[in-house]
Amino acid sequence: MLRIPLHVKEFASQRPELFEQFMDYWRHYRFQETKDAKYEYQKTRKDGSVITFEEKEAEMHETLMAEVNLRAGFIAGQTDGMSAEALSTMPTLRWAAFAIVGMLIDVAIPDVIIDSIGLYTEVRNAGFGDSFAFDIMPRDLWTVSKHGRAQRHAEVQKQHSGQVTIIPENRELTVQVSLYKVLAGKESLARFVSKAILSLEAELTKDVYTVFNTAMAALATSPAATALQVTGWTLDSFLGLAEKVSAWNGGAKPILVGTPRALASVLPNDVNYRYDIDSEFVKIGYMRTISGYDIMSLPQVANYTTPFEVVLTNERLYVISPGVDKLVKLGLEGSTTSHVDAVNSNANLTINATFNKSWGAAIATSAIAGTIDIS
């Protein structure tokens, strides 16, 4: 279960209306982008009338600007009669605008990353300047042996726990925005926040998956772990691997995960296997269960550093036991911070806003997992 940062909990408790309105807007925004029914949002007002996304975005922008004015020291109605041009030069207003953006990023990030990396990643939050230490408990049991009755002790055994330390590294996102247009309502602050959230989430997901996949790929080169790596899909090889993963994870039942494209290779060995056009396999592209083991898909992620490339490999399946211990540990340091240029720093009077978010990820577990390379 993902733990919500304390500063987000405090923000949500102090400003519940803003928190709830933004989360509803955010899920509506994601539905507009993906058309995925898992994003549930408010579709009607209290009077039963339908509320469109455009109306919701305009209302969210107004709510955010009211919050910005409040944080900048204005009271309700105090800005009446002042032009957007005049307000755009006020330093505290610029600070408040991007401080609110940073806070809303922290509000939505847990909701975003749980869908993409939650299967194999445990997320922890800490304050500024903190590092993360994860204790690794031994998974082996003690050896029980036959022994003579006239001897006091068998072979003495002692287990030692390990520890993995994660040092967060800072990431920066710098964007250019016309604060005048934002204050005048010509650019949506709500949409700006949404794009910033997705940008950070994409980089975070890529970092975590890279750690996960690199560790899993190393199974093929590790003499002690080659038994956890299978080449080519067959039902028998999968069942053998699943048995090993379960047995060495204390009996915890594993699941099979991969991208939808990779999971399309998961089929029974029976040559008489048939499916019709209304079958689940045709509708979703892969089976949800095979031989008693659940199957779950990992959503593909765009690699924005290379045009039209994707991050997750479609040539590998993973056998993991998420109920025992998540393989990857992710540490999020502090809250999202921002700093902005002065209003006249650029010749075109735009403002550079830079957001800072620190995180680190590493394999830190005594649980085991296996891979099936399908190519």
List pLDDT tens digits, range 339-365.
888 767 777 767 888 999 999 999 999
State the chain's maximal CA–CA distance in angstroms.
97
Q: Which residues pair with 352 in a beta bridge?
A: 176
Its sign, for the CA torsion 170, 174, 179, 181, is: negative
- Residues 292, 343, single domain; the answer is no
Tell me whether residue 151 is in a domain: no
Lowest model confidence (mean pLDDT) among 111-115, 338-342, 345-349, 369-373: 345-349
Tell me whether residue 27 is in a domain: yes
**3-state SS, residue 341:** coil
Tell me whether residue 144 is in a domain: no
Q: How many CB atoms lie within 10 A of CB 53?
A: 13
- Residues 288, 173, single domain; the answer is no
- Residues 14, 116, single domain; the answer is yes
Classify burial at 250, counting beta carbons within 10 Å of its beta carbon; exposed 0-12, middle 13-18, buried 19 or more.
Answer: exposed
What the block records as the tokens of 103 is: 């806070």
pTM of this structure? 0.84
Give the type of residue at 271: V
- Of 11, 26, 29, which is closest to residue 109 (Cα–Cα)? 26
- Residues 252, 350, single domain; the answer is no
Q: Which residues pair with 69 in a beta bridge?
A: none
Please tell me the predicted confidence (pLDDT) of residue 3: 57
Tell me whether residue 354 is in a domain: yes
Tell me whether residue 103 is in a domain: yes
Tell me whether residue 58 is in a domain: yes
Classify burial at 270, counting beta carbons within 10 Å of its beta carbon; exposed 0-12, middle 13-18, buried 19 or more.
Answer: exposed
What the block records as the tokens of 46 is: 């209290």
Q: Which residue has the tokens 């075109």?
A: 348
Cβ–Cβ under 8 Å, residues 248 and 319: no
Percent of the chain with pLDDT over 90: 42
Under 8 Å CB-to-CB from 135, ≥6 apart: which residues? 161, 162, 163
- Residues 31, 166, single domain; the answer is yes
Q: Which residue has the tokens 């399946």?
A: 317
From first CA to last CA, the distance across the chain in angstroms is 34
Domain enclosing residue 309, as ranges: 212-328+365-373
- Residues 304, 268, single domain; the answer is yes
285-313 pLDDT per residue, tens: 888 999 999 999 998 988 888 899 999 99
Max mean pLDDT range (93-102, 139-148, 162-171, 262-271): 162-171
- How many structural domains compose the chain? 2
122-147 pLDDT per residue, tens: 999 888 889 999 999 888 888 898 88
What the block records as the tokens of 114 is: 């749980």
pLDDT interval class at 159 (50, 70, 90): confident
Cβ–Cβ under 8 Å, residues 257 and 288: no
Angle at 367 between CA 366 and CA 368, to 5 degrees: 120
Give the mean pLDDT of 261-289: 84
Tell me whether residue 154 is in a domain: no
- Residues 351, 271, single domain; the answer is no
